[in-house]
């Protein structure tokens, strides 16, 4: 199972994570979507301050940070380097400790090592370790960070078994000793490993690591603590941190290349593993610590890194075979193959030309600022920006009993990021603003609502189709606060090819379209973005591949180094889901087609209403769902309807080409009257789909030799759509980049409906 798939596990209300590197695009659109789709909504991440600041400088503040999850910075003497995922639920929990950052390569494409321990109502053996992990988060929580403190309090309050568990860093699971090792005041990972081994004679040592000291001092310190056993070094096949001369200074050492590790293929080595083979047991350590002084010797409050690893004792002589390291250790790497790393990638935490802005928290109308250490605060001014980066406030904070604060005017736009202009002339990188009320509201998951259940169902859909549309129609803005009834849960079971009754295929009413626009006019667009409709938008984009996905299903030999408890449920693969899906019938396909025709006709009527805006946040997403459901049901040009595709391209009564033409004609009229004057990403995504749909309908009509008057009408709609979109882009100053990227994704996703490769550029 890929690591990113692990976040689809059920039964957890909270997820606490640490990381060194952080990719907000991957996190927001992969990890966050997975967690929230399973009802896990109390989410907080602690990342290395300097690495996070570098990301904030390069890409700006993450869109969902401060609203759907809390993003905290942490600075230590070296690097804040642990990779921990602690998930907590009413009756159980899961602890994952490894080498994987919250980035695309970390989640999927690197060769990583991740160990997992689970707690269930029936098996609480590992509970003390999860309690110790929770204490680790408390230890690294900034006392001045109320958002992190509240996230921890919510997690503890909703996890009754945690309060009944005494934290311990070492337990015995099914006769096997297992421990959580982190940096402590008295020493680092190497010293803790030595204490765990407890005097056993170590005969040989295997160390797998992508990064090392140039002097190999960290390795030498570990060997000395373990009695100087012979050692095998498994290094990255392409780049290393030491030269041949340094290696030759080691006694009783062998060198091996990562290319011989099981199932690594072309992936980059990022796993960190130490196997100490003793007389009494084999000891297997895996986690975040590289074979460096900073990684192995770092102390809490002292020099070096913050790190986290899991270690277990195994039967003597069993670990090498279990981990599949035999082939790697029988083939030595020629010293001539050593190549010094071309640049510093060892995680030194350098932040040259990056100015930290500190920490920001919005509590009601009061913005609290915690200045960064070592920067002048008196005389600083702060500019606040909304989700789109538009400045909404600028002013000087005032020192009060609560620290530095800015009082915002009632009714002002909600700030999402802040930039500090220091009195010495330095300007900080943008920092996310933690909105306490939004974090509290979005974290509520003790009693999953009807909306949460529906979103979980939608996330399992393989495509944006009639079933997803039907489930989306069941979502109402107030449903999040309404627990699902038995009838609701029964309705969710009516999926795929079961009988399509009238009450199972609702349509949006004029009032619903109008209500969305009114709520956004009142300042609710940000609320919509971070509510159920925003979740729908994330799911749609994932289905289109608008967010990068890495690799195919794969299992690392090092991905389950240490296990304990009962394995948690995980998201089924697409292949497994498709196999479990009942076969479609032609009768049901015709029923779906009929309902889609009715839905399109009704939506056309609604769009004629004078106060319905197609580009309002909610309406644009609803229209995307409808258009994509039609495209999913559409037969390719020249193909007759069947069980999988019930809409013909030419049948006048149920022609998807004509349906799109009618719908896009109304969209063009709606765009002309739209008062949406700021095209954000969501608006551009909708415009791209409108342009694609109008272009596709026109192109297929010509190729299918449809009635000449119909073909000409569709060509006219296509031209009018292109003109309307261009006017919108010109009037709002929006970039074509997002539009082009979305068009390319649509063209690829629906390539089977047309043979014109350049259609998306029409």
> Which of 281, 12, 287, 365 is closest to 155 using CA atoms?
12
Q: Which residue has the tokens 């697409």?
A: 574
Residue bearing the bigger pLDDT, 85 or 636: 85
Residue 373: pLDDT above 70?
Answer: yes
DSSP 114-151: EEEEEE-SS--TTHHHHHHHHHHHHHTS-TT-HHHHHH
Report for 186-190, 490-494, 640-644: range of highest mean pLDDT: 186-190
Please give, one letter per residue, the 3-state secondary structure of 403-472.
EEEEECCCCCCCCCEEEEECCCCCECCCEEEEEHHHHHHHHCCCCCEHHHHHHHHHHCCCCCCHHHHHHH
The dihedral through the CA atoms of 475, 478, 481, 486 has a sign that is negative
Residue 501: pLDDT above 80?
Answer: no
What's the pLDDT tens digit per position in 560-579? 455 444 444 444 443 333 33
Q: What pLDDT is stored for residue 346 in this prediction?
A: 45
What's the pLDDT tens digit per position in 222-231? 999 999 999 9
Q: What pLDDT is stored for residue 759 in this prediction?
A: 38
Q: Which of 64-73, 542-551, 557-566, 597-606 has the lowest mean pLDDT?
A: 557-566
The interaxial angle of helices 617-633 and 466-473, nearest 10 deg, is: 150
Mean per-residue pLDDT, 212-222: 98
Q: What pLDDT is stored for residue 437 in this prediction?
A: 92
623-648 burial code (b ≥16 CB/10 A, e <16): bbbbbbbbbbbbbebeeebeeebbbb
Q: How confident is the model at residue 707 (pLDDT cuts 50, 70, 90)?
A: confident
For the domain made up of 190-337, the CATH class stated in words is alpha beta
What's the pLDDT tens digit per position in 25-72? 999 989 998 999 888 999 999 999 999 999 999 888 788 999 999 999
Tell which CATH architecture fits domain 3-170.
2-Layer Sandwich (3.30)
Cβ-based burial of 7 (10 A; exposed 0-12, middle 13-18, buried ≥19): buried
Residue 498: pLDDT above 50?
Answer: no
- Listed by start position, the domains of the chain span 3-170, 190-337, 359-428, 463-544+588-761
Cβ-based burial of 30 (10 A; exposed 0-12, middle 13-18, buried ≥19): buried
Inter-CA distances, 220 with 292, 296, 366, 469, 709, Å: 9, 11, 53, 61, 82
Residue 479: pLDDT above 90?
Answer: no
Residue 491: pLDDT above 50?
Answer: no
Q: What pLDDT is stored for residue 712 in this prediction?
A: 94
Mean per-residue pLDDT, 656-666: 95
Q: What pLDDT is stored for residue 488 in this prediction?
A: 38
CA angle 201, 204, 207 (to 5 degrees): 125
CB 48 within 8 A of CB 80: yes
Residue 121: pLDDT above 90?
Answer: yes
Model pTM?
A: 0.74
What's the pLDDT tens digit per position in 269-284? 999 999 999 999 999 9
The interaxial angle of helices 617-633 and 656-673, nearest 10 deg, is: 170
Domains 3-170 and 190-337 share a fold: yes
* 157 conformational bin, left if phi > 0, alpha if psi -120 to 50, beta if neither: alpha
Residue 390: pLDDT above 50?
Answer: yes
Q: How confident is the model at residue 147 (pLDDT cuts 50, 70, 90)?
A: very high
Collect all residues with Cβ–Cβ distance below 8 Å to 537 and sequence separation of at least 6: 529, 621, 624, 682, 685
Share above pLDDT 70 across residues of the chain, in percent, rounded to a whole number:
82
Q: How confident is the model at residue 459 (pLDDT cuts 50, 70, 90)?
A: low
Which secondary-structure segment (H or E) carries 296?
A: helix 293-297
Q: What pLDDT is stored for residue 486 in this prediction?
A: 39
Helices marked H in 302-364: 319-323, 326-329
Which secondary-structure segment (H or E) carries 717?
A: helix 708-732
Q: What pLDDT is stored for residue 388 in this prediction?
A: 78
CA distance 260 to 265: 9
DSSP 7-52: GG-SS-SEEEEEESSB-HHHIIIIIHHHHHHTT--EEEEEEEHHHH
Q: What pLDDT is stored for residue 557 in this prediction?
A: 40
CA distance 551 to 543: 16
CB 425 within 8 A of CB 52: no
Q: What is the mean pLDDT of the chain?
A: 85
Token pair listed for 367: 């913005």
């Amino acid at each position: 199972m890929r690591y990113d798939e692990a976040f689809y596990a059920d039964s957890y209300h909270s997820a606490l994570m640490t990381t060194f590197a952080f990719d907000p695009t991957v996190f927001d659109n992969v990890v966050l979507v997975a967690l929230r789709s399973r009802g896990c909504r109390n989410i907080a991440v602690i990342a290395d301050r300097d690495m996070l600041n570098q990301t904030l400088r390069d890409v700006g503040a993450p869109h969902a940070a401060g609203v759907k999850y809390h993003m905290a910075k942490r600075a230590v003497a070296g690097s804040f380097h642990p990779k921990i995922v602690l998930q907590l639920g009413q009756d159980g929990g899961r602890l994952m400790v490894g080498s994987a950052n919250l980035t695309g390569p970390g989640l999927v494409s690197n060769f990583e090592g991740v160990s997992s321990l689970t707690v269930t109502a029936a098996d609480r053996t590992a509970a003390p370790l999860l309690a110790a992990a929770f204490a680790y988060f408390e230890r690294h929580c900034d006392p001045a960070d109320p958002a992190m403190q509240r996230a921890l309090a919510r997690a503890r309050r909703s996890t009754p078994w945690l309060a009944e568990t005494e934290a311990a860093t070492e337990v015995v699971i099914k006769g096997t000793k297992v421990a959580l090792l982190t940096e402590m005041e008295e020493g680092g990972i190497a010293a803790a490993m030595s204490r765990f081994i407890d005097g056993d004679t170590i005969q040989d040592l295997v160390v797998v690591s992508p990064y090392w000291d140039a002097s190999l001092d960290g390795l030498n310190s570990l060997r000395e603590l373990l009695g100087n056993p012979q050692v095998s070094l498994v290094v990255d096949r392409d780049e290393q941190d030491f030269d041949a001369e340094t290696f030759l200074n080691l006694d009783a050492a062998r060198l091996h290349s990562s290319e011989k590790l099981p199932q690594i293929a072309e992936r980059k080595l990022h796993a960190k593993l130490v196997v100490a083979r003793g007389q009494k047991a084999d000891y297997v350590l895996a986690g975040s610590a590289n074979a460096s002084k900073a990684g192995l010797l770092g102390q809490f409050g002292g020099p070096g890194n913050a790190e986290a690893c899991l270690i277990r004792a195994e039967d003597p002589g069993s670990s090498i075979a279990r981990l599949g390291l035999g082939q790697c250790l029988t083939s030595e790497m020629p010293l001539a193959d050593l190549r010094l790393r071309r640049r510093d990638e060892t995680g030194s935490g350098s932040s040259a030309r990056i100015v930290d802005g500190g920490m920001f928290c919005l509590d009601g109308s009061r913005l609290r600022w915690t200045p960064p250490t070592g920067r002048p605060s008196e005389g600083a001014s702060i500019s606040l920006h909304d989700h789109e980066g538009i400045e909404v406030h600028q002013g000087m904070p005032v020192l009060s009993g609560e620290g530095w604060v800015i009082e915002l005017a009632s009714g002002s736009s909600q700030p999402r990021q802040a930039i500090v202009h220091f009195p010495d002339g330095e300007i900080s990188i943008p920092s996310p603003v933690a909105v306490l009320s939004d974090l509290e509201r979005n974290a509520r998951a003790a009693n999953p609502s009807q909306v949460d259940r529906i979103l979980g169902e939608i996330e399992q859909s393989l495509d944006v189709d009639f079933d997803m549309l039907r489930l989306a129609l069941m979502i109402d803005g107030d449903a999040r606060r309404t627990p699902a009834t038995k009838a609701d849960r029964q309705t969710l079971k009516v999926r795929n090819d079961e009988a399509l009754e009238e009450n199972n295929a609702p349509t949006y009413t004029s009032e619903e379209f109008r209500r969305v626009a009114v709520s956004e006019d009142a300042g609710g667009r940000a609320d919509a973005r971070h509510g159920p409709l925003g979740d729908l938008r994330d799911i749609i984009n994932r289905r289109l591949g608008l967010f990068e996905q890495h690799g195919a299903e794969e299992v690392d030999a090092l991905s389950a180094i240490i296990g304990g408890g009962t394995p948690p449920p995980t998201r089924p693969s697409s292949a497994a889901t498709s196999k479990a899906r009942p076969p479609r019938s032609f009768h049901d396909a015709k029923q779906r087609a009929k309902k889609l025709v009715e839905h399109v006709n009704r939506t056309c009527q609604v769009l004629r209403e004078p106060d319905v805006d197609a580009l309002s946040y909610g309406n644009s997403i609803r229209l995307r769902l409808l258009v994509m459901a039609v495209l999913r049901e559409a037969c390719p040009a020249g193909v007759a309807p069947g069980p999988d595709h019930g809409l013909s391209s030419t049948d006048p009564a149920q022609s998807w080409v004509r349906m799109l033409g009618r719908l896009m004609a109304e969209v063009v009229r709606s765009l002309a009257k739209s008062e949406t004057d700021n095209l954000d990403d969501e608006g551009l995504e909708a415009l791209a789909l409108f342009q694609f749909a109008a272009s596709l309908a026109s192109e297929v009509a010509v190729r299918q030799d449809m009635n000449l008057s119909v073909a000409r009408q569709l060509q006219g709609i296509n031209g009018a759509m292109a003109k309307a979109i261009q006017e919108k882009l010109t009037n709002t100053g929006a970039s074509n980049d997002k539009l082009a990227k979305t068009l390319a994704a649509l063209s690829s996703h629906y390539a089977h409906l047309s043979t014109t490769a350049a259609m998306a550029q029409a």
